Structure 1
Amino acid sequence: MTEETAVSTADAIGVRDAVTVNMPADSAYLSVLRTATAGLAARLDFTLDEIEDLRIGVDEACAMLLSQALPGTELTTEFELTPDGMRISVSVLTADGRLPARDTFAWTVLSALAGEVDAEVGPDDRVSIVLYKRRGTLEPA
Structure 2
Amino acid sequence: MTEETAAPTTGATDVRDAVTVTMPADSAYLSVLRTATAGLAARLDFTLDEIEDLRIGVDEACAMLLSQALPGTDLNTEFELTGDGMRVSVSVLTDDGRLPARDTFAWTVLSALAGEVDAGAGPDDRVTIILHKRRNTTESA
2:99 aligned partner: 99
Closer, same or farther: CA 27–140 of 1 in aligned 2, 3 Å: closer
What's the CA shift for 1:137? 1.3
Instruction: Give distance in 2, aligned partners of 1:18 and 1:73.
Output: 22
Match of 1:110 in 2: 110
Post-superposition CA distance 1:63-86 (Å, at most 9, x none): 000000000000000000000000
Q: 4+ runs of 1 displaced by more than 4 Å?
A: none
Q: How many residues align?
A: 134
Partner of 1:120: 120
Equivalent position of 2:83 in the other structure: 83
Structure 1 segment 7-46 matched on structure 2, within 5 A: 10-12=10-12, 15-46=15-46
After superposition, residues 130-141 of structure 1 pair within 5 angstroms as 130-141=130-141
Q: TM-score, normalised by structure 1?
A: 0.91
List alignment gaps of at least 5 residues for structure 2: 1-7
Q: How do residues 30-69 of structure 1 correspond to structure 2 at under 5 angstroms?
A: 30-69=30-69
Higher share of residues assigned strand: 2
Deviations 1:79-122 (A, max 9, x none): 00000000000000000000000000000000000000000001
Are the equivalent residues in 1 in contact too, given 2:15–2:83 (CA < 8 A)? Answer: no
**Structure 1 position 139, deviation (Å):** 2.2
Which structure shows the bigger proportion of residues in helix conformation?
1
**Percent sequence identity over aligned pairs:** 86
Q: TM-score, normalised by structure 2?
A: 0.91
How far is 1:140 from its partner?
Answer: 4.8
Structure index of larger Rg: 1
* Unaligned runs of at least 5 residues, structure 1: 1-6
SS of aligned partner of 2:81: strand
Per the alignment, do residues 52 and 140 of structure 1 end up closer, same or farther by CA in structure 2, a change over 3 Å counting? closer
Give the distance between the partners of 1:130 and 1:32, measured in 2 at CA: 19
Q: CA RMSD in A?
A: 1.7
